[in-house]
């Protein structure tokens, strides 16, 4: 998608900012074109981004055009790194939380602190510390977390009623909204209606990091806080994964390998995902609700999915790119982005602001699912060398997805597979 300036402004371009660690070269000979890689080709998302770009171009003659370049989500990071290695780096890039350490700690991104702090009206202090933690290194911010979205459970109340089960809201009101009870309800739906019970969206027996939305309820984690020791074989993880294994193969509360069920098409009773999916329910033919993740043995918890945007250190136009990033993520445009991406700004984490952007969700849902969960949420797993670790975990977990799997034995093999990467 390409946005060009519709009107030329006669004012001179602002003085370029000084940026440390920039490997790219700015173009002093005339207006430049900025390219931003994104993983969404959603027309509404791109229309919003293009509108922000148009507003920027109207007042910045030093930038001739801003192109949003959608790359397929599957393989996004590998495509981006291939572009960088091939001397075809974009100026700015969306970055997934699981690859954040590789970008943030290696000098791949331009530090943003000075630029954001010096931008009029930006209000850096409004950024929630917990939301920016993953994107900092040595007290410097290297990417702006434009989307900080807790995972939650969408529920099909009609399917639960058909199976003779209480709603999730009723269970929550009585203090019974737990994974044990959710699986019991999911199994009943499967047995009584033929529909599926619980779908952990985007897992599909390959996206293993999405299982953090379950295992965190047991206090499990894939590796230690410093990233040096494997956690897959620890008792908490074994218990959590054994619970899931039984949910799939014994209780049939979750669809098994090779099967799919679309909650938003009415094919499952519950799904774990983020509020950005709520728009898929605009014409839903069933009664639905949105509730926090069920509690686990370790109690209530929250898991957050994040996406950051940063300026590549080898960007063709790093100075102009950093200036556009400051414009794109300032308070006014942050509120616009909140229509699809929960913002990291404390002042905007209100039911009123999020409600304007998410009209299908009630103030109570937004408060309990998003606002109350961000400060204490655990971000999905990430580690340096994530691409290699991801492949190793995925392959080592494959034997787990059979009915007679030795859960503890498989998880021990996962640690054996990733220990060499963690040791680095």
The model's pLDDT over 7-59, given as tens digits with 9 standing for 90+, comes to 222 222 222 222 333 344 444 567 999 999 999 998 989 999 999 999 999 99
Could you tell me the pLDDT band of residue 269, with boundaries at 50, 70 and 90? very high
| Most confident among 24-28, 192-196, 363-367 (mean pLDDT) | 192-196
Instruction: Tell me which residue of 342, 362, 354 sits closest to 289, measured CA to CA.
Output: 362
If DSSP codes are grouped into helix, strand and coil, which group holds residue 309? strand
Which residue ranges form the domains of the chain, and what is each CATH number?
2-149+305-374 (3.40.190.10)
Return the exposure string of 259-276: e unless at least 16 CB atoms fall within 10 Å of the residue's CB, then b.
eebebbebbbbbbbbbbb
Give φ, ψ of 251 to 5 degrees.
-90, -15
When the pLDDT of each residue in the chain is averaged and rounded to a whole number, the result is 91
Distances (CA, A) of 351 to 188, 329, 338, 358: 34, 20, 12, 10
pLDDT attached to residue 85: 92
Return the exposure string of 101-129: e unless at least 16 CB atoms fall within 10 Å of the residue's CB, then b.
bbbbeeebbbbbeebbeebeebbeeebbe
* Residue bearing the bigger pLDDT, 384 or 270: 270
Instruction: Tell me which residue of 131, 155, 149 sits closest to 294, measured CA to CA.
Output: 155
Continuous H helices in 224-370 = 235-249, 318-328, 331-337, 351-357, 363-366
Q: Residue 294 CB: number of other CB atoms within 10 A?
A: 25
* Average confidence (pLDDT) over 192-207: 96
Could you tell me the pLDDT band of residue 148, with boundaries at 50, 70 and 90? confident
**pLDDT tens track for 215-258:** 999 999 999 999 999 999 999 999 999 999 999 999 999 999 99
Q: How many whole angstroms separate alpha carbon 161 and alpha carbon 141?
A: 48
* Average confidence (pLDDT) over 290-310: 96
Contact present, 286 and 266 (Cβ < 8 Å): yes
Q: What is the pTM of this model?
A: 0.83
**pLDDT tens track for 393-424:** 999 999 999 999 999 999 999 999 999 999 88
Q: How many whole angstroms separate alpha carbon 422 and alpha carbon 218?
A: 22
Q: How many whole angstroms separate alpha carbon 96 and alpha carbon 386?
A: 11
* Residue bearing the bigger pLDDT, 4 or 272: 272
Gyration radius of the chain's alpha carbons: 22
Q: Which helix (H) or strand (E) holds 268?
A: strand 268-274
pLDDT attached to residue 28: 53
């Amino acid at each position: 998608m390409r946005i060009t300036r519709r009107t030329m402004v006669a004012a001179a371009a602002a003085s370029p900012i000084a940026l440390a660690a920039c490997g790219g070269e700015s173009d002093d000979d005339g207006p430049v074109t900025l390219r931003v890689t994104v993983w969404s080709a959603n027309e509404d998302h791109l229309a919003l981004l293009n509108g922000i770009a148009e507003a920027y171009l109207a007042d910045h003659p030093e930038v001739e055009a801003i192109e949003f370049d959608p790359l397929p989500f599957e393989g996004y990071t590998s495509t981006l790194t291939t572009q960088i290695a091939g001397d075809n780096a974009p100026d700015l890039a969306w970055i997934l939380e699981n690859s954040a350490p590789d970008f943030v700690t290696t000098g791949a991104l331009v530090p943003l602190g000075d630029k954001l702090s010096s931008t009029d009206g930006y209000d850096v202090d409004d950024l929630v510390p917990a939301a920016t933690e993953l994107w900092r290194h040595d007290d410097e911010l290297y990417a702006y977390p434009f989307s900080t979205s807790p995972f939650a459970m969408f529920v099909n109340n009609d399917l639960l009623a058909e199976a003779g089960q209480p709603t999730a809201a009723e269970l929550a009101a009585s203090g019974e909204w737990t994974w044990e009870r959710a699986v019991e309800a999911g199994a009943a739906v499967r047995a009584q209606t033929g529909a599926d019970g619980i779908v952990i969206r985007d897992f599909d027996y390959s996206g293993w990091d999405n299982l953090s939305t379950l295992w965190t309820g047991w206090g499990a984690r894939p590796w230690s806080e410093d990233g040096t020791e494997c956690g897959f074989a620890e008792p908490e993880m074994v218990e959590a994964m054994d619970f899931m294994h039984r949910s799939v193969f014994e209780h049939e509360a979750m669809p098994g390998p090779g099967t799919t069920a679309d909650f938003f098409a009415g094919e499952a009773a519950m799904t774990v995902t983020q509020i950005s999916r709520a728009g898929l329910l605009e014409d839903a033919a069933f009664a639905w609700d949105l509730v926090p993740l069920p509690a686990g043995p370790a109690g209530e918890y929250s898991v957050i999915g994040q996406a950051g945007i940063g300026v590549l250190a080898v960007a063709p136009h790093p100075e102009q790119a950093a200036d556009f990033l400051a414009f794109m993520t300032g308070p006014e445009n942050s509120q616009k982005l909140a229509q699809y991406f929960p913002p990291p700004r404390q002042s905007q984490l209100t039911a009123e602001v999020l409600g304007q952007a998410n009209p299908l969700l009630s103030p109570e849902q937004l408060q309990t699912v998003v606002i109350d969960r961000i400060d204490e949420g655990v971000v999905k797993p990430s580690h340096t060398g994530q691409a290699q670790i991801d492949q190793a975990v995925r392959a080592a977990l494959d034997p787990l997805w059979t009915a007679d799997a030795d859960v503890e034995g498989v998880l021990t093999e996962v640690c054996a597979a990733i220990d060499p990467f963690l040791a680095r």
